A and B are shown apart, each in its own frame.
Chain A
């Protein structure tokens, strides 16, 4: 029973980490269709934001909270920079986008290595997040609870933004039918940039949060990138709902398979299951029905 609850908690936590890492991608890839291989490096930029902030603000708790905001801005600005300089020139060339953003990712890794050195740096977690909470006989690290809460907060905020705000309406309109949206007076250029800012900013936030549980090194983004893409693809493009469900589904799946097998085997089995699932449902869990021709 303890084990079951322990693994449920692990699954929930893993799901929230996947969700946080994938949420930004759900916007840039899911909504805009841009295959941004540098998304992992935006996460990494968030990690280092937390590190730099800790050098400036010595109180670990305050620096974490400030970093979440600054991380969003840093990630977002990197995203806007990438979008306006490179990606917007190749919206109809997905393969080029893939290669170029992969290249940008490597450049960013090298920049991080030159600025901060190749060895991992240590971001100290605030004392109110150290240790664990006992829930039904199993100890759940507080850092993981924090990430769960943060993931839920980010999803809620994003959903509210897309549903209720004029900006969200514009984003959805452009996603569903770009031409029609433009003829209705929406600047699709400006909307693209905004969407990219939010999506990349969320990657930065994810990065800040991930320093609580993992290492902060130049290559850290790579470990989350593939998982993030998997979540978005399984969830189905164009909807946040799909991403949320897919993230938690993969989290639970991974935690239970890993418990009964091994970490390496669990990864393989999850991949196989995803391939089988996508054979049956290539569009993912949910799709947006549009009248758009593309």
Chain B
């Protein structure tokens, strides 16, 4: 961080001052230049396309409650960049990654996005995890006419010309998960989630689906992000005698939830939990013995048996260690970089407008299979997969959709969802 010359170390002997400065550094960057908000909105981009390298941003929470998940996304982005560079780069240029810490705070994400676009002049930014961080960044990318590749499954009902959504939208994850439960004979659900935009919207969609499909919603509970006590919620879930639990908790809360759930004697046979934010990385933190046999809904698992995935997993473990796992958002982030590269090469330009105009139909055969960008809504086609968590900490596909599902962020092709997008 460019801060060594800042005057905050006036008297090095004063340990307190040094400490405060150090903490300020870890918090927001002692030296992050106050972003110049009066600069021309949407003015000509400052991206340097003449040099031998092209800069892209990697914006992930490296601290705070979301770091558990987002650090892995950063690693996947770095791997993709490394491979592309080794392969000759993009349009003959080597990619240079500028990393920033979103610190699990939407406002910090917005600030750092602005910094990446205006000060670092990156051609595209990869990152973001929580919907709150994406919603905070959206006006920044639209205002500056820049590009964000957002690699995480989310609640849908959004599309922007300046964002490419490479994670699943609801009809590629939540709707297939509900179809799966229904097919398995589940007639009632209990909804548990973290108290913010993704779980709330997801649960609205689940309620609409439930109404049209004779599923009973026995209860709906939210806990503050980072919450660590699930005793009461588990009591409520048990008392409800629901057929299954639909879990949209995020981050560390999942650890406390599953420890409580298992120790309270609930299990996948009597009341399975289907989760949409737990991937291989989180399973490690929760402890496979606490979550053995539970279900997840994603588009990618480390265990997928394709040559593309084997190569991806091998390369990742080679770079970061054999004990590391690969997960859906990591895979989506990896795919994002390749989709950006393919689009740039198709457009033969790093310009935002050229990328937007040429994005439709750009595809890439990634670890999860073939994905293709939809030029209208900026989402990508994805294969839905339901997986079961096994004691080895990996997730194994128990059901998958027939081929990639077209993205439908506003659920326009589902009659029961007609009241949602309003």
Beyond A130-B263, A141-B263, A215-B228, whether A85 also contacts B15 by CB under 8 A is: yes
Quick one: given A259-B232, A264-B224, are A131 and B263 in contact (CB under 8 Å)? Answer: yes
CB-defined contacts of A107 to chain B, threshold 8 Å: 19, 22-23, 26
Contact B26 A106 (CB under 8 A): yes
The answer, yes or no, to whether A139 is at the interface (CB within 8 Å) is: yes
The answer to whether B286 touches A264, judged by C-beta atoms less than 8 angstroms apart, is: no
Of the stretches A118-126, A148-156, A284-292, the one at the interface is A118-126
Contact A2 B239 (CB under 8 A): yes
Task: Tell whether A14 pairs with B229 under 8 Å between CB atoms, given A7-B235, A117-B71, A132-B264.
Answer: yes
Write the nearest CB–CB distance from A248 to chain B, whole angstroms.
Answer: 14
The answer to whether the Cβ of B284 comes within 8 Å of any Cβ in the partner chain is yes
Could you say which of A86, A90, A124, A267 contacts B287, with CB atoms under 8 Å apart? Answer: A124
Interface positions of A from 1 to 44, Cβ below 8 Å from B: 2-3, 6-7, 9-10, 13-14, 17
Q: Look across to chain A and name the residue whose beta carbon is closest to the beta carbon of B266.
A: A139
B16, B260, B264 — most chain A CB neighbours (10 Å): B16
B323 to A: closest C-beta gap in Å: 11
Residue B362 at the chain A interface, CB threshold 8 Å = no
Interface residues on B, range: 35 or more
Whether A143 sits at the interface, judged by CB under 8 Å, is yes
- Contact, CB under 8 Å: B20 / A103: yes
Q: Cβ of A130: which chain B residues have Cβ within 8 Å of it?
A: 262-263, 289
Question: Is B23's CB under 8 angstroms from A106's CB?
Answer: yes
Contacts of A212 in B (CB 8 A): 259
Cβ contact within 8 Å between A223 and B259:
no
Chain B residues with Cβ below 8 Å from A239 are none
Contact between B284 and A219 (Cβ–Cβ < 8 Å)? no
CB–CB B235/A10 < 8 A: yes
CB of B195 closer than 8 Å to a CB of A: yes
Question: Does B285 belong to the interface (CB within 8 Å)?
Answer: yes
Decide if A218 is an interface residue (CB 8 Å cutoff). Answer: yes
**Bound CA span A85–B226, Å:** 32
Could you tell me if A259 and B71 are in contact, using CB atoms closer than 8 angstroms?
Answer: no
What is the minimal beta-carbon distance from A104 to any residue of chain B, in angstroms? 6
B:2-44 near A, CB below 8 Å: 15-16, 19-20, 22-23, 26-27
9-residue interface stretch from A70-78, A94-102, A183-191, A228-236: A94-102
- B252 an interface residue at 8 Å Cβ cutoff? yes
- In the complex where A107-B26, A143-B263, A213-B259 touch, is A7 in contact with B285 (Cβ < 8 A)? no
Interface centre among A96, A122, A144 (most CB of B within 10 A): A122
Please determine whether B15 and A86 come into contact, CB atoms closer than 8 angstroms: yes
Question: Does chain B have a CB within 8 A of A282?
Answer: no
Q: Which residues of A contact B281 (CB under 8 A)?
A: 119
Pair A86/B16 contact, Cβ less than 8 Å: yes
Known contacts: A106-B26, A122-B284, A215-B256. The answer to whether A263 contacts B223 by CB under 8 A is yes
B229-260 to A contact mask, C-beta < 8 Å, 1/0: 10111011011000000000000101110011
A262 within 8 A of B: yes
Once the chains bind, are A118 and B231 in contact (CB under 8 Å)?
no
Query: Binary interface profile of B, 258-291, with partner A (CB < 8 Å = 1, else 0)?
Result: 0110111100000000000000011011110100
Say yes or no: is B65 at the interface (Cβ < 8 Å to chain A). Answer: yes
Instruction: Confirm or deny: B381 has a beta carbon within 8 angstroms of a beta carbon on chain A.
Output: no
Is B263 within 8 A of A120, CB to CB?
Answer: no
Min CB distance A55 to B, Å, is: 13
Residue in chain B with minimal CB distance to A110:
B26
Say yes or no: B286 contacts A122, CB within 8 Å. Answer: yes
The A contact surface, by secondary structure, is helix
Instruction: Check B264 against A100 for contact (C-beta < 8 Å).
Output: no
Q: Is B358 an interface residue (CB 8 A)?
A: no
Among B65, B221, B239, point to the contact of A219 (Cβ < 8 A). B65
Q: Does B356 contact A (CB under 8 A)?
A: no
Instruction: Say yes or no for A142: interface residue by CB 8 A criterion.
Output: yes
Question: In chain B between 56 and 94, which residues have their CB closer than 8 angstroms to a CB of chain A?
Answer: 62-65, 67-69, 71-72
Instruction: Give the CA-CA distance A92 to B345 in the complex, in Å.
Output: 65
With contacts A213-B259, A217-B285 taken as known, whether A264 is within 8 angstroms of B195 at the C-beta atoms is yes
Q: Which one of A120, A125, A263 contacts B195 once the chains associate, using CB atoms below 8 Å?
A: A263
B209 within 8 A of A: no
Q: B63 and A144: CB pair below 8 A?
A: no
Please state if A263 and B232 are interface contacts (CB–CB under 8 Å): yes
Q: Shortest Cβ distance from A98 into chain B, in angstroms?
A: 11
A119 to B260, CA, bound (A): 20
Report the minimum CB–CB distance from B338 to chain A (whole Å): 25
A200 within 8 A of B: no
A142 and B227 contacting across the interface, CB-CB below 8 Å: no
Measured in the bound complex, the distance between the Cα atoms of B284 and A210 in whole Å is: 18
A-B CB contact pairs (8 Å), 27 listed? A3-B235, A7-B232, A10-B232, A10-B235, A13-B231, A86-B15, A100-B16, A103-B16, A106-B27, A107-B23, A119-B281, A120-B286, A130-B289, A132-B264, A132-B265, A139-B238, A143-B259, A213-B228, A215-B256, A217-B65, A219-B63, A222-B226, A223-B227, A224-B228, A258-B232, A263-B221, A263-B222
Query: 7 smallest A-B Cβ distances: which pairs?
Result: A120-B285, A215-B255, A141-B263, A118-B67, A103-B23, A263-B223, A122-B287
- Contacts from B to A (Cβ < 8 Å): 15-16, 19-20, 22-23, 26-27, 62-65, 67-69, 71-72, 195, 221-224, 226-229, 231-233, 235-236, 238-239, 252, 254-256, 259-260, 262-265, 281-282, 284-287, 289
Additional pairs, 13, CB under 8 Å, beyond known A119-B281, A262-B221, A263-B232: A6-B239, A85-B15, A99-B16, A109-B63, A110-B63, A120-B68, A120-B282, A120-B286, A213-B256, A217-B65, A219-B226, A224-B228, A264-B222
